[in-house]
Structure 1
């Protein structure tokens, strides 16, 4: 686990340990993908377990959580992102909507971030 991954894991656990905030699990999420070479952005509406393609990437939503009672609050989603030409994931972990750089996917052409969870 990288230092950034450890910091993210700790950040996700602290509210649960302290009891500061309860979370709810969404039925899906809205993600935004950016092709950095041509400047094209697309929004992906995914239900939990569903995948979408962004160029040569396959983006799979594993889970989306948000503050209980505040669906418009800060969402965070567990994503698996694979390049179809590679065996190992390009990214696998939690992304936080308000802090996408905290746990960002590092790819030369594409960028992906979480916008919000779906509740219906």
Structure 2
């Protein structure tokens, strides 16, 4: 039990460190895969950090996008704020999304699905 508590404390400690200190490199654009569940249309877009990317009724703001350096296991993580024009004032999603673990933190929306593919 102590080993589990120590591992959890170490994970919390490292989560507070800047991206560069954890082996992540900040990037300028996020490659996102978007799914319209009604039409089954899949779209891949490139969204710049700090710029809004529209998709249907969604507005996707990528605030940060980090990737693992060359030579490490490829992965990407993006901090995003997603709003839906049909529900103004209520964020549809705010947080980190991970390319290698999309189920950890995901958009829960009846019509759309958003996934991070890469940060470049």
TM-score by length of 2: 0.79
Distance 2:66 2:72 in 1: 9
Equivalent-residue separation in structure 2 for 1:72 and 1:56 (angstroms): 34
Work out which of the two has the higher radius of gyration on C-alpha atoms and give 1 or 2.
Answer: 2
Q: Which moved more, 1:63-72 or 1:48-57?
A: 63-72
Task: Name structure 1 gaps, 5 residues minimum.
Answer: 1-6
Distance 2:82 2:96 in 1: 11
* Structure 1 residue 70 displacement after superposition: 4.9
- CA gap of 1:71–1:89, structure 2 versus 1, over 3 A, is farther
Separation in 2, partners of 1:12, 1:106: 28
Which residue does the alignment assign to 1:117? 119
Is the contact between residue 14 and residue 22 of structure 2 (CA under 8 Å) also seen in structure 1? no
Show structure 2 runs of 5+ residues with no match. Answer: 1-7
- State the superposition RMSD in angstroms: 2.7
